[in-house]
Amino acid sequence: MAIWDKIRGEFVDIVEWTDDSQDTLVYRFQRYDNEIKYGAQLVVREGQSAAFVNQGQLADVFNPGRHILETANLPILSTLQGWKYGFSSPFKAEVYFVSTRRFTDLKWGTKNPLMLRDQDFGLVRLRAFGTYAIRVHDAAVLLRELVGTSGHYRTDDITDQLRNIIVSRFADLLGESNIPALDLVSNYDELGSFMASKVRPEFNAYGLELTKLLVENVSLPAEVEAALDKRTSMGAVGNLNAFTQFQAATAVEAAANNPGTAGSAVGLGMGMMMGGQLGQTAAPPAAAPAPPPIPQPVQFFVAVNGQQTGPFGMDVLATQAQQGQLTRDTLVWQAGMAQWTRAADVGTLTALFGATPPPLPPQAP
């Protein structure tokens, strides 16, 4: 009897997995060459699922709970191993525990700056960073597509590929959005939501669900940020003349509090002189007088057969006068005139008729 108990002890009768790590996606149950006892208990905790693999072929998948490993609970494995009429002997199978909990605070970011054309800065280089969260939603797909025969599969084994997907899609989105670099901060939520919708199908192809994607920062190059800081400082100073006078007054007060210091009088004089020079430099230059308006060409409207024509410039009116189309009695008008007037009565047009001979007198009968 002792020998039989020893043989029975070689068989695993409880299959379970407890994990203290925070990065394990899949763990293969270690049997140490022991077979699983028929009727053994399978314990699947919350945040886990268990998959049986028979000779490299995925069989049954179990959700959280306590399961008795019998023919009724292992329909696929029973078929693969040929348990047609029931089975009561130990059996061999690989058991993979898959963590279905949510893995948070996974990092993504650009390895190299993204070259973009910006409305404010022209060509600019941007870097982007953020976090995302995933969980396994299809253990079978994950085992087929990623895990293979690995006995311990961690998030580090897949995060590089997931990060590359996110960065590639983010670069495409940023280029198409045409959002100015200085306005990106007000669109982080929208960018994150839209990015999640774009990359989620690609995550699903690995059996993973993207539950959250956040854009934490889109930064300009250090040189551009330093220039913006200087511009912000100038804005904080406000009136540069008043600021210079304040600095000079502060220097006077400091010198008065230290009368025994060598060269204090000289320093005070130099400070006041420099303050005056800086004040003059900061004063805005007098505005140059505005040039007179450019003279506009003279134009007139001409009445022809009761119809308004034009406006015509002086060169066209001169030609019409030479051809007899414009006569002294032709009515004309231009902006500023109260009413239509004979061309001969408009001083500007009088010169047009100086060289035009008057009409011939009627011939004697």
Distance CA 67, CA 77 (A): 14
Residue 3 has pLDDT above 50, yes or no: no
Average pLDDT of the segment spanning 141-168: 91
Residue 137 has pLDDT above 60, yes or no: yes
Average pLDDT of the segment spanning 34-38: 77
- pLDDT for 30 equals 82
DSSP secondary structure letter of residue 46: T
- Which domains occur in the chain, in start order? 2-99 (no CATH), 103-220 (3.30.479.30), 299-353 (3.30.1490)
Q: Are 9 and 28 in contact (CB under 8 A)?
A: no
- pLDDT for 283 equals 53
Residue 27 has pLDDT above 70, yes or no: yes
Mean pLDDT value across the chain: 79
- pLDDT for 9 equals 46
Average pLDDT of the segment spanning 13-30: 89
Q: Is 126 left (phi over 0), alpha (psi -120 to 50) or beta?
A: beta
Q: What are phi and psi of 45, to 5 degrees?
A: -85, 165
Taking Cα atoms as reference points, which of 174, 158, 142, 143 lies closest to residue 108?
Answer: 158
Which of 17-26, 111-120, 270-279, 292-301 is the most confident on average? Answer: 17-26
Q: Are 67 and 74 in contact (CB under 8 A)?
A: no
Distance CA 310, CA 315 (A): 13
Question: Which comes out higher in pLDDT, residue 82 or 36?
Answer: 36
Lowest-confidence region among 4-18, 53-67, 83-97, 321-335: 4-18
Q: Would you tell me the crossing angle of helices 264-282 and 240-256 to the nearest 10 degrees? A: 170
- pLDDT for 319 equals 84
What is residue 354's three-state secondary structure? coil
Residue 6 has pLDDT above 60, yes or no: no
First to last CA, the chain: 166
Question: Which comes out higher in pLDDT, residue 17 or 306?
Answer: 17
> Across-strand partners of 98?
26, 49
Could you tell me which residues come within 8 angstroms of residue 186 by beta carbon, excluding any fewer than 6 positions away? none
The model's pTM: 0.57
Range 74-104 burial, b when 16+ CB lie within 10 A, else e: beebbebbebeeebeebbebbbbbbbbeebe
How do residues 244-253 score in pLDDT, each as one tens digit?
766 677 776 6
Residue 45 has pLDDT above 80, yes or no: yes
Question: Which residue reads 């959005």 in tokens?
Answer: 177
Lowest-confidence region among 71-80, 227-236, 259-268, 337-346: 259-268
Question: Which comes out higher in pLDDT, residue 35 or 363?
Answer: 35
- pLDDT for 296 equals 67
Question: Which comes out higher in pLDDT, residue 51 or 36?
Answer: 51
Cis preceding-peptide flag for 259 (omega within 30 of 0): no
- pLDDT for 130 equals 95
- pLDDT for 56 equals 78
Looking at residue 362, its amino acid is P
Distance CA 202, CA 166 (A): 10
